[in-house]
Amino acid sequence: MWKQKMGEKFWANEDDKMVVESVVGREACELLISSGNAASDVTLPGDLGVQQGLAQLVEGSNWNYAVFWHVASLRSGGISLIWGDGHCCDPKLGAAEDGSSHQNVRSDRVEKKEELNKLVLQKLHSSFGRSGDDNFAERLDGVSDVEMLYLSSMYFSFQSDSAYGPMGSLKSKRVIWASDAPTCLDHYQLRSFLAKSAGFQTVAFVPLKNGVVELGSVKAIPEEQNVVEMVRALLGAPASNKTKVLPKIFGQELSLGGVKSQSVTINFSPKVEDDSMFASETFDAQRVDSNQFHGGTSNGYPSDNEAKLFSHPNQIVMRGFSPQTRISGLEQHKDESSPYADDRKPRKRGRKPANGREEPLNHVEAERQRREKLNQRFYALRAVVPNISKMDKASLLGDAITYINDLQMKIKALETEKDMVNDKHKPQLVPDFDVQMRHEDAVVTVSCPLDAHPASEVIKTLRNHQVAPECDVSMKDGTGVMHTFSIRTQVGGVEQLKEKLVAALSK
Amino acid sequence: MWKQKMGEKFWANEDDKMVVESVVGREACELLISSGNAASDVTLPGDLGVQQGLAQLVEGSNWNYAVFWHVASLRSGGISLIWGDGHCCDPKLGAAEDGSSHQNVRSDRVEKKEELNKLVLQKLHSSFGRSGDDNFAERLDGVSDVEMLYLSSMYFSFQSDSAYGPMGSLKSKRVIWASDAPTCLDHYQLRSFLAKSAGFQTVAFVPLKNGVVELGSVKAIPEEQNVVEMVRALLGAPASNKTKVLPKIFGQELSLGGVKSQSVTINFSPKVEDDSMFASETFDAQRVDSNQFHGGTSNGYPSDNEAKLFSHPNQIVMRGFSPQTRISGLEQHKDESSPYADDRKPRKRGRKPANGREEPLNHVEAERQRREKLNQRFYALRAVVPNISKMDKASLLGDAITYINDLQMKIKALETEKDMVNDKHKPQLVPDFDVQMRHEDAVVTVSCPLDAHPASEVIKTLRNHQVAPECDVSMKDGTGVMHTFSIRTQVGGVEQLKEKLVAALSK
DNA sequence: ACCGACACGTGAGCC
DNA sequence: TGGCTCACGTGTCGG
């Protein structure tokens, strides 16, 4: 059970290894081969309910993919991050990459690479794929490098205590945002070869309660707090039904409400105690008055017990391994992954704690979490609504309503416009026609409105400019139609006619 | 100044009076003639900033129009409601009203009526129209009955203390919602003749701080609290810059926040004191736990002073006048318009008042109003977002975000689709063409792709079915293009050819 | 000084 | 019952 039997066969073949290595890189390939698959017999967590959120993150944005890395506990006692779910949106259509307008270049070299990618993916899948959805790789017809990184990520997992990549984000509970290619590759760790091939320039990791969301893009995307908040709002509720089990963890029961991203960590006011820890965060949405962000203060991994409810699939464990050793210049993780700094922290705002009882302490915590969830939704709403007038909650809602109505009107206009186009172009394609017999021949007549005719402007211009053209012949070659108009004109009028035609056709 | 000089001329003509009377009704016409125009020399309040909100209310909904009636103070000391702004969206295209498919029926009788409407509107405008935008009626080409009611509303104003119509709503500070034709006509008062002609079945009045919003529809729309909340959210801030003036009205300075619909009225808990007053309201959105609706408790008209800042235009004053006398069955206005019942009311929720001071009493009121404004925005958001999963604030925000993303994706898809269509159809309209001289004639050749040609299917079929047609002539008459294909065929093959052509063209 | 916006603790209602 | 949401009063910060 420490090695998959199918895998054995494939990796024994040296040629196959070379092929895979050429795609995923040497180091990753080595680890793929040598790593024992911890608990390869169990299935993935199944539907985590995050697919929709991931899709929304990617669609319509500059991100090329989003992956949710799920926390899983190892038999050894540690934890690891395994593939939870993902969404990829590679804009492969209309490539024209190198500035050369030859599409043949693409269809030659790139398509060859895509077929190679597909082949490697099939090998990976047959070796390490989960038993469930088979031949998923066979469905693909050519895998771009972007998709390759995304799809092959399924076969990686992270167990290291590195400060890079998803585990680095999870351990430090910090958002990692690398928007230049070198730093980016650092955080891709073993997948850096794949990331380099695909040309990724930005990768971001957002730690959540029971996992990490990874976003990647081939574009250089500057850090946006909006995106982070949107991630937290959209994916704040993964596997909510299962978190209901074991609501009390420690003696000090903390109600992990099931619909929280990382709210179990204790909030504190950054302005008072810990200004220095917020150097790498950019806050563009609003003033950070209260505590929606927090440093590493937490009482342990909240999903420690929760994660045991999930089983981790058959994936290659990626041990502490960083392909580059240089320190990222963009993220100063002063983390050291200190996950056990906790205790109650003083709150500044609001009323005095009314120190009389101890029993409603759970209630206030729940209310805190509810408020924070609502605020995250507000931040996420700010992220998707443009033209925010006054960084105000009420104004935000009003702007959102306005924006929704604008969008609805726009959609209605576009749809009616489309219908108009259809109504105008459909009967154009079905013109009146008639077939009649004359002597030994058949005469087919086809009539269509003048405006729908390709040569309508020419015909109109001729009719306006000259007397009726009178005689014209249309001839057809293989793929086109050619209309020829022979008209009687005076000397010198040709230039004038040509100008008129150009003017008429270019308007 | 009590009569407009142009008006004198028109109304002296008995024929003109008959024409107008046939459209607006006898009673309205009488009043239009006899009423002195109070303060006819001043202009309208100008842009109230409500146009966008009104448009959003109407667009994409079942409402045909929305009018904001603005509070104005009369020289006599009373107040009146005058036309503030409005938006109309009459779905006149694709009428086919009576089930008969003859469009000629419409273009005969209806178009005659529409021309009559336009004529009457021009008369009204020349008599009572404000001096500003002239010939607005001339821009219209045929005014439907729905538009007629809407446009002629500009020339009415309301001064009565009737329980019907906009003034009834304003006085009682209650929402009026009439969704059957008879009740509807009651509330249209003088405009009932117009409303009857247009077939209005639903009219709703929503009182705001400085006016009333009127919504009308030819459909029967059951009462929806969502709509009311949306009105209040979208139009809560009319003429906000002017309300800043004179912030303190009475000795007891009540903070009219400028962005409130009717928040100056004092809230109270309906469940305790006043359950019986909420019989006619339907609450479909959420449980009515707190007090977003309130009876007539108010300390006077909040816009009493504020309205003096505005001048009221030249409009016909509609005095206490109700065309029908029977009582509306849907709305039991037990109002008597008692606007001076106030005093502090006990609040049930929340913490004990911590009775020590009296100075933060203003603060709690402001906070109350802020909360209510936010809640109104939430209700309005619920009204525009479909597929609300869980009547929850957080879920609502999440659904709204999802919905916005869906809309954005949809718009992007539609726009790219439109671009695709344009890319496919635009070069069709600009085909390659060439002009050459041969002997004494000019030869113009126009070529286009076969697929873009109206006769493409015919040409393809001919080419597939027969040998090449070889000889064809295209002829043009006034508005169309006719292509004639003469082909050699065997006897009996004509029927077969015709079938093939039909099949090819209908696919 | 006021005022608007916000978060907090708290009481209460509803499954 | 307890979890969850909500509204309310209050403290606080910033303009």
Calpha distance B342→B323 (Å, rounded): 34
According to DSSP, the β-strands at A340-341 and B316-318 are unpaired
pLDDT band with cut points at 50, 70 and 90 for residue A174 = confident
Q: How far is B469 from chain A (nearest CA, A)?
A: 10
When pLDDT is cut at 50, 70 and 90, the band that residue B360 belongs to is low
Q: What percent of chain A clears pLDDT 90, i.e. is strictly above it?
A: 7
Q: What residue has its CA nearest to the C1' of C5?
A: A392
Q: What is the pLDDT of residue B191?
A: 92
C-alpha pair distances (Å), B246 with each of B60, B249, B308, B339: 38, 7, 11, 22
For an interface test with B, which of A446, A457, A473 has the most B Cβ atoms less than 10 Å from its Cβ?
Answer: A446
Helix (H, G, I), strand (E, B) or coil at B104: helix
| CB-closest option in A59, A401, A446 to B405 | A59
What mean pLDDT comes out for the span B438-455?
A: 76
Q: What is the pLDDT of residue A132?
A: 52
To the nearest whole number, what is the mean pLDDT of chain A?
Answer: 66
Is 60 exceeded by the pLDDT of residue A437? yes
- Alpha-carbon gap: A231 to the closest alpha carbon of chain B (Å): 12
For range A347-366, the mean pLDDT: 53
Confidence of residue A297 (pLDDT cuts 50, 70, 90): very low
Interface test with A, best of B234, B364, B397 (most A CBs within 10 A): B397
Q: Per-residue confidence at A201, pLDDT binned at 50, 70, 90?
A: very high
Most B CBs within 10 Å: which of A447, A460, A479, as the mutation test of the B interface? A447
The 3-class secondary structure across A364-413, one letter per residue, is HHHHHHHHHHHHHHHHHHHHHCCCCCCCCHHHHHHHHHHHHHHHHHHHHH
Q: Which two tokens stand for residue B350?
A: 């929340």
pLDDT digits (tens, 9 = 90+) for B32-80: 766 544 444 334 555 667 888 888 888 878 899 999 998 887 767 778 8
At which residue do the structure tokens 């929305």 appear?
A: B66
A373 CA to chain B: closest CA distance, Å?
7
Give a three-class secondary structure readout of A142-177. CCCHHHHHHHHHHHEEECCCCCCHHHHHHHHCCCEE
Return the pLDDT at A195.
Answer: 93
Strand D lies under 7 A from the Cβ of residue A371? no
How far is B353 from chain A, CA to nearest CA, in Å? 13
Q: Do B446 and A458 touch (CB under 8 A)?
A: yes
Mean pLDDT, range A409-435, rounded to an integer: 73
What's the Å distance between residue B174 CA and nucleotide D3 C1'? 37
Which tokens belong to A350?
């609001």
CA–C1' A253–D1 (A): 17
Q: Quick one: which residue's CA is nearest to C13's C1'? A: B289
Confidence of residue B218 (pLDDT cuts 50, 70, 90): very high
Interface touch B411/A407, C-beta < 8 Å: yes
Residue A332 reports pLDDT greater than 50: no
Task: Please count the other Cβ atoms lying within 10 Å of the Cβ belonging to residue A368.
Answer: 16
CA distances from A470 to A72, A486, A487, A498, B310 (A): 82, 8, 7, 18, 69
Asked if the Cβ–Cβ distance from B407 to A402 is below 8 Å, we say: no
Number of helices and strands in chain B (H, E): 19, 11
- pLDDT-wise least confident of A206-210, A299-303, B31-35: A299-303
Integer Cα distance of A225 and A206 in angstroms: 11
Q: How many CB pairs under 8 A join A and B?
A: 276
Flag if B485 and A446 touch (Cβ within 8 Å): yes
Paired with A214 in beta bridges are: A67, A205
Using the CA of A346, which nucleotide's C1' is the nearest one? C8
Closest chain A C-alpha to B455 CA, distance in angstroms: 7
pLDDT in tens, B285-300: 333 333 333 333 333 3
Where is A187: in which H helix or E strand?
A: helix A181-188
> A345 to each of A266, A294, A338, A355, B303, how far by Cα in Å?
7, 12, 17, 15, 48
Which amino acid, residue B382? R
Report chain B's C-alpha Rg in angstroms: 31
A455 — alpha (psi -120 to 50), left (phi > 0) or beta?
alpha
Closest nucleotide relative to residue B368's CA, C1' based: D8
Q: Residue at minimal CA–C1' distance from C14? A: B287
Give yes or no for a contact between B254 and B299, defined as CB atoms under 8 angstroms apart.
yes
- Burial class from Cβ neighbours inside 10 Å (0-12, 13-18, 19+) for residue B173 reads buried
**What one-character-per-residue DSSP string does B460-489 give?**
HHHHHHSS---EEEEEE-SSEEEEEEEEE-
pLDDT band at A346 (very low <50, low <70, confident <90, very high): very low
Of A302 and A221, the one with more pLDDT: A221
Q: Nearest 5°: CA angle at B241, between B238 and B245?
A: 115
Other C-beta atoms closer than 10 Å to the C-beta of B199 total 16
How many Å apart are CA A451 and CA B425, to the nearest integer? 12
Over residues A381-403, the mean pLDDT reads: 86
The answer to whether the Cβ–Cβ distance between B498 and A59 falls below 8 Å is no
pLDDT digits (tens, 9 = 90+) for B374-387: 888 888 888 888 88
Chain B residue nearest residue A370, CA to CA: B394
Residue nearest to nucleotide D12 (CA to C1'): A349
Whether residues B429 and A234 touch (CB distance < 8 A) is answered with: no
The rounded distance, in Å, linking the Cα atoms of A231 and A243 is: 20
Span B282-335, pLDDT tens digits: 333 333 333 333 333 333 333 333 333 333 344 444 443 333 333 233 333 333
Bigger pLDDT: B189 vs B440: B189
List the single range of A190-199, A241-250, A430-439, B8-17 with lowest mean pLDDT: A241-250
B431 to chain A: which residues are within 8 Å by CB?
Answer: 454-455, 505
Rounded-to-integer distance, Cα A396 and Cα A382, Å: 7
Q: Give the pLDDT confidence score for residue B53 in this predicted structure.
A: 82
User: pLDDT per residue over A44-58, tens digit each?
Assistant: 555 667 887 888 888
What are the structure tokens assigned to A441, written together? 């021949």
Q: Which nucleotide is nearest to A350 (CA to C1')?
A: C8
| CA distance from start to end of chain B | 70
More confident residue, B397 or B338: B397
Confidence at A405, pLDDT banded by 50, 70, 90:
confident
Best of B62, B378, B476 to disrupt the A interface (most A CBs within 10 Å) is B476
Q: Nearest nt to B352, CA vs C1'?
A: D9
pTM over 0.90: no
Pairing outcome for strands B156-158 and B316-318: parallel
Question: What ipTM score was computed for the predicted complex, to two decimals?
Answer: 0.47
More confident residue, A306 or A43: A43
Residue B351 confidence (pLDDT)? 40
Chain D positions with a protein C-beta closer than 7 Å? 3-14
Give pLDDT, residue B499: 82
Task: Specify the pLDDT at position B491.
Answer: 59
SS3 state at A289 = coil
Question: Contact, B472 vs B486, CB < 8 A?
Answer: yes
pLDDT per residue as tens digits for the range B258-274: 333 333 333 333 333 33
Q: Which of A230, A410, A474 sits opposite B474 (nearest CB)?
A: A474
Q: Judge whether residue A151 has pLDDT over 80.
A: yes
Q: What is the mean pLDDT of chain B?
A: 66
CA-nearest of B218, B68, B223 to B157 is B68
Residue A200 has pLDDT above 90, yes or no: yes
Q: Which of A155-159, A173-177, A337-341, B110-114 has the lowest mean pLDDT?
A: A337-341
E-strand ranges in B201-278 read 202-207, 211-217
The residue that minimises its CA distance to C1' of D5 is: B392
What's the pLDDT at A360? 58
Helix axis angle, A51-58 to A225-234, nearest 10°: 160
Q: How much is the pLDDT for A471?
A: 61
Average pLDDT over residues A257-265: 32
Q: CA of A381, closest CA in chain B: separation in Å?
A: 6
